[in-house]
Structure formats: C-alpha cells, structure tokens
A = this chain, B = another copy of it.
C-alpha cells in the first residue's frame, strides 16, 4: 500500500521543531508493510491543509496526517480536511462524553474551543486519545484510508498504536540491517552496490551513508533492506547481501 504522511505545523517549517513524528510514523508504517513514498509538510493555513490532503490523496492509498488537532485557533486540520472533501462535521457523542467527564467534573466549561476537538467528519470513527483531549480520526474516503493524528509526539504515538492493527497490510514484511565499513570511499563502493542490486533485481535495496570525509578517512554505514511475503525470506536475502558486500568490498578499496 502506498502511504503518504502529511505534517501540519508552522513550527516544523520554521525549524523550531524537528519532525520526529515523520521518522516514527515512517518506521512504523514501513514495518507494517507500507511503501511510505512521500511526505508533505504544510503550514497552519486552511488553503495549505487543503492543498496537502488533495496532493496526498492523488497518490496515496493510506494518508496519515499529524498536527493541528487541539483547542487553539490554528488547530484546524479536521475542519479543513472535512471541508476539502465536502464532508459535514458533527459532534461525536462518545468523545463529547469524555470531554464532559474531563472538564465538567472539574467545573470547567465546554467552550467552543474545546467542543471543536470532538467535531468530527460524518462517517468517520474517533480514535480515543489516552494522553490528551483531542481524539484522532479514522476516515475511509474514495477507497482510501485517512488517519488524522495529533502533533504532540506522545499523543501521536499513542494513537498510532491504537490504529496500527488495522493498518498492517499482511502483504509483506520488512527487514533491514546496517553495518559499518571502514577504509572505503562511497565512490569506490558504488560499482559493487550497483552490481549486487542488479543481480538481485529489485529484491534488495542498498544505501551507503558516509560518516566522515570521503577521501582522507573514509567510513560508511551501509544499509541493506528487503521486503518479502515472509520475514524469514527477507532476513535471508539481507544476510546474503551483507555477506556478499563484506566478502567483496576490499577489491574496491582505493579504486
């Protein structure tokens, strides 16, 4: 399944916050069998959120959004996505009860800002938030799945855990290994990487990450990954390729 992550938040674009949500979601979805093939970050702006969800839906089967849930004026993800897809919103009765328990029992009023958090698209399902006030949303749209998650990392992670069993494709398993290679330049290893990848014709992916200056003191981390219906097969492929690189790379040193 092709997955697109849509991050919503000025703080990411201004560099105030590092997008660790993307790395968490990317890793979790990859291990759940998805091809996380694009990510878009947009600002807290209705037109931008609308642009983002439309672009995401053009190409992804699974869209995960993060950010813009909550009680402030710039928390507008649910409202904007609903409008953009021409879906009405309504107060979710179950989540409204949670809000009442949360606030009323402490003598705090359910203001419009708070009610907004439980006004969800008609036909969607609330994902109850065990950590914060704003629920996530699970929505089927045009044969695709949209999961709307908060931006606060602890809340995002908790809700992704809740919904994850439904997102596992069961179609393929992912396995990867990363190992260091000292004393070989990335440009020297490149022909070996290409040769091995061709030999395995798409079954394996090899990526080298330079750790230090290429020429004077070369050091690489080499990442080998594979997808397969069976995890054991993916692991076998990766192990065979790691072995092949380790056995052959010395012939390429200094070349």
| A residues in contact (CB < 8 Å) with B | 5, 7, 10-20, 22-28, 30, 36-45, 48, 55, 70-74, 102-103, 106-109, 111, 113-114, 131-133, 152, 176, 178, 186-191, 193-194, 197, 205, 207-210, 213-215, 223, 225, 254-255
Contact = CB atoms under 8 A, between A and B. Distances in A.
B187 A71 contact: yes
Which 8 residue pairs across A and B have the least CB separation, nearest first? A15-B27, A15-B26, A71-B187, A15-B23, A39-B41, A113-B190, A13-B36, A73-B194
B15 A24 contact: yes
A201 to B, nearest CB: 14
Q: Which of A45, A73, A213, A225 has the most CB of B within 10 A?
A: A73
B111 A191 contact: yes
A128 B106 CA distance: 62
Contacts of A37: 13, 42-43, 45, 48
For this chain, the copies found in one complex come to 2
Given A10-B205, A209-B11, A215-B106, A186 B72 contact: yes
B109 A207 contact: no
Contacts of A27: 14-16
Contact of A73 (B28, B133, B197): B197
A84 to B, nearest CB: 16
Contacts of A38: 13, 40-43, 48
A13 B39 contact: yes
A133 to B, nearest CB: 5
B25 A132 contact: no
Given A40-B40, A55-B55, A133-B187, 18 more contacts: A5-B13, A13-B38, A14-B27, A15-B27, A18-B22, A18-B23, A19-B22, A44-B207, A70-B186, A71-B190, A72-B186, A72-B193, A73-B193, A107-B254, A113-B190, A131-B213, A132-B210, A132-B214
A102 B48 contact: no
A30 B15 contact: yes
A74 to B, nearest CB: 7
A187 B254 contact: no
